Amino acid sequence: MFSENSAAEGAVLIKSIILYSSSPLEFHIICDQSAQEYLEKRISLLTHPQHHILVRFYRIPHQNMVARIDREGAINTDHAAGVPGLMKLFIHEILPTTVRRAIFVDTDAFFISDPTQLWAHFHALRPETAISMPSHPDQSEPQWHNANRICSCIMLLDLDRLRALRLMDSSHYHLPGEVPALAPSAFTAMFGPPIEAGDGHMRYDGVKLGDQGYWWAIVSHRPDIFQHLSYDWEISSCLMDMYMKGLGDDDADEAHEQFVQVHTDDTPERGRAVLPKMLHFNCLDGVDRYYDWPGWSDPNDGLAHRWLPAVRYHVGYKWLWLNQPESNATLTMQTLHDVKFADEEYALARARNVATP
């Protein structure tokens, strides 16, 4: 989260996780000062959580993010998320090795069910799987290299596995005898070799959708490390029209839900009813915060008709109401400043070993 606006959206997400979770929680938030201050003001209202909660802020100066991208050598982005958006490719490098798995969720989403159910999906992954996210093999957009066939808006990441694979390249890994990173061969296979971008920089050409374009190259090149994640956790307002799911008709059975849903033919979800567990309000253009979208006030808008009550409830639910006065659980907030990427730590450790007699 690298602005107050992204933190405002992210606060709703965090609030929903705490509201529904049946388990202790850890939040690892990569952010800037404005986002941290916005979140701290709200999280500090929770003095008696139902379960133990750890909130850890990772502060990375912008120039350090740019430097890591430069060390990779050729990735770039024209997406609105900018350089911070590319940090999704480096989560395994930013978080300490004590954090072995993580769930990433875009800030413009919130849960409507227990996130512990989502964490349980890790137990169903194959041993070799490193990444699980929703996949849409029915989608096609050649100018994006078909990167709309996945959604990096929600990802289950086996960080141990990504570290072992050495996912992203770095100039620190180019000494003789070094194990090559996974990503360069994947990126070259999809985008071709890097081209001259001026000022001595190289870049992969034609990459769209920011980090998602790169994730698509990775999982296309290495399908053995990828598994599909159920659409239940990606009810998206962008390309998928929320699968035409919405509130109302509380007596609807599975056959009815399956009949009215869209965008599931020729996908892994064909033949089953999508059961919403997380809502994602992306592609609501023209506003900095999805809940300020003018369409919510349009009585004829289908998205507003189906989901406005859920948005109002989760945005308006007060942080103070999350308190459980009888609980002995604790909430701890920590801040790590000037966080180093794993490739920097690797280079420092190598230099110490060389210097040791």
Residue 311 is classified by DSSP as H
DSSP, collapsed to helix, strand or coil, labels residue 31 as strand
Residue with structure tokens 């989608």? 139
List residues bridging with 28 in a β-sheet. Answer: 56
| Tens digit of each residue's pLDDT, the chain (357 residues) | 999 999 999 999 999 999 999 999 999 999 999 999 999 999 999 999 999 999 999 999 999 999 999 999 999 998 888 999 999 999 999 999 999 999 999 999 999 999 999 999 999 999 999 999 999 999 999 999 999 999 999 999 999 999 999 999 999 999 888 999 999 999 999 999 999 987 778 999 999 999 999 999 999 999 999 999 999 999 999 877 899 999 999 999 999 999 999 999 999 999 999 999 999 999 998 999 999 999 999 999 999 999 999 999 999 999 999 999 999 999 999 999 989 999 999 999 988 887 654
pLDDT at 162: 98
Tokens of 159: 């960080």
DSSP, collapsed to helix, strand or coil, labels residue 334 as strand
Q: Are 210 and 108 in contact (CB under 8 A)?
A: no
Residue with structure tokens 């809940």? 291
Q: How far apart are CA 203 and CA 180, in angstroms?
A: 19
pLDDT at 80: 85
What are the Cα distances from residue 356, in Å, to 44, 174, 179, 344, 348?
46, 21, 22, 19, 12
Q: How far apart are CA 116 and CA 230, in angstroms?
A: 15
320 burial (CB, 10 Å; 0-12 / 13-18 / 19+) is exposed
Q: Are 169 and 69 in contact (CB under 8 A)?
A: no
| Size of the chain in residues | 357
Please report how many Cα atoms fall inside a 13 Å half-sphere around the Cα of residue 286, on the Cβ side: 6
Q: How far apart are CA 94 and CA 208, in angstroms?
A: 24
90 burial (CB, 10 Å; 0-12 / 13-18 / 19+) is buried
Does an H or E element contain 228, and which? strand 226-228
Q: Are 148 and 283 in contact (CB under 8 A)?
A: no
Nearest to 152 by CA among 282, 256, 42, 25: 282
pLDDT at 356: 52
